[in-house]
Amino acid sequence: MTGKVVIQRPDLGITPVGEHPDGEPVASVHSWDVVTAADGPGTRFVTFFAGCHLRCLYCHNPDTWEGRNGQQVTLSDLVAKMLSFRGFIQAAGGGVTVSGGEPLLQNRFIEAYLRRCKEEGMHTALDTAGFLGARATDQLLDDTDLVLLDVKSSDPNTYRKLTGVALHPTIVFGDRLAARGNRARIRFVLVPGLTDDPANIDGVAEYAARWGSVDDGGIIEQVDILSYHRLGVAKYHELGLRYPLPDTVPPTAEQLAAAAEHFTRRGLWVTTA
């Protein structure tokens, strides 16, 4: 069950992106949220950073694409906002998640923020498509307890059609996480007619198996198979954009179960939603 406590546009100060006049890091932030049973274990303080270079056909947050549309937030203000929820979050076994958009577009700020979160004793998670994984320094990954890695397709052609970018950097990032021992969860969105081909699902499962279940000494805690949904359609209309998948419908329970089998038979723990 997902319990949403609050969602709010940040009003933490207006300053140029990159660096405050006093030298403090500044980021472009779309919004923040406090959620349970989503974006990592327990109750999470989730910051959605503005800006994304992918254009996923099923994206339900097109309002996060442009970094210039975010509010400018200093590091100290974001940490203070996070700390205002610390007692509640930690009591619920949660932590902090950085998401987007694509947070690694603002990797220097993310690195500084995760360092501060770890200094405050918070569990940390990074939600990323992995395309910019090379921007994640070893220090950033040292301060990341869990990576939520979106593997949108295993087929390079389908991946490019779906996102507009190449698959390879995401797989390289996954290999790097495995070599380092960074714990991860794989996220895969099941889109009928686009990502539901059995060979495609099997390929994603092969990558997950390559990185290994934590039960067998690997890094993958679980695989989250997410249902395509149409909750973002209204946002496209509000932004004057054409919705790319007007005739696509969510997968059935049977389709989700069939997809899950590709992973479970490789010894991976799977959730569907």
The distance of Cα 133 from the centroid of its chain, to the nearest Å, equals: 12
Give the pLDDT of residue 23. 76
Residues 200/157, Cβ–Cβ less than 8 Å: no
Q: What is the pLDDT of residues 202-220, one digit of tens each?
A: 999 999 999 999 999 999 9
Give the pLDDT of residue 38. 81
Is 92 buried (19+), middle (13-18) or exposed (0-12) by CB count in 10 A? middle
Q: Facing residues of 270 across strands?
A: 223
In the predicted structure, residue 9 carries a pLDDT above the cut 50: no
Give the pLDDT of residue 157. 98
In the predicted structure, residue 56 carries a pLDDT above the cut 80: yes
Q: What is the pLDDT of residues 247-257, one digit of tens each?
A: 999 999 999 99
13 pLDDT band, cuts 50/70/90, is very low
In the predicted structure, residue 264 carries a pLDDT above the cut 50: yes
7 contacts: CB under 8 Å, gap ≥ 6: 31, 32, 33
Query: What is the helix (H) or strand (E) element at residue 202, kind and residue range?
Result: helix 198-211
Q: What percent of the chain has pLDDT over 70?
A: 92
In the predicted structure, residue 8 carries a pLDDT above the cut 60: no
Beta-strand relationship, 95-99 and 123-128: parallel
- What sign for the dihedral angle of Cα 239, 242, 246, 251? negative
Give the pLDDT of residue 178. 99
Which whole-number Å values give the CA distances from 62 to 53, 233, 269, in the listed order?
Answer: 11, 10, 31
Is 63 buried (19+), middle (13-18) or exposed (0-12) by CB count in 10 A? buried
Mean pLDDT of the chain: 92
172 contacts: CB under 8 Å, gap ≥ 6: 133, 134
261 contacts: CB under 8 Å, gap ≥ 6: none
CA angle 183/126/230 to nearest 5° reads: 115
b or e along 249-268 (b: 16 or more beta carbons within 10 Å of the residue's beta carbon)? eebeeebbeebbebbeebeb
Pick the CATH number of 6-272 from 3.20.20.210, 3.20.20.140, 3.20.20.70, 3.40.30.10: 3.20.20.70
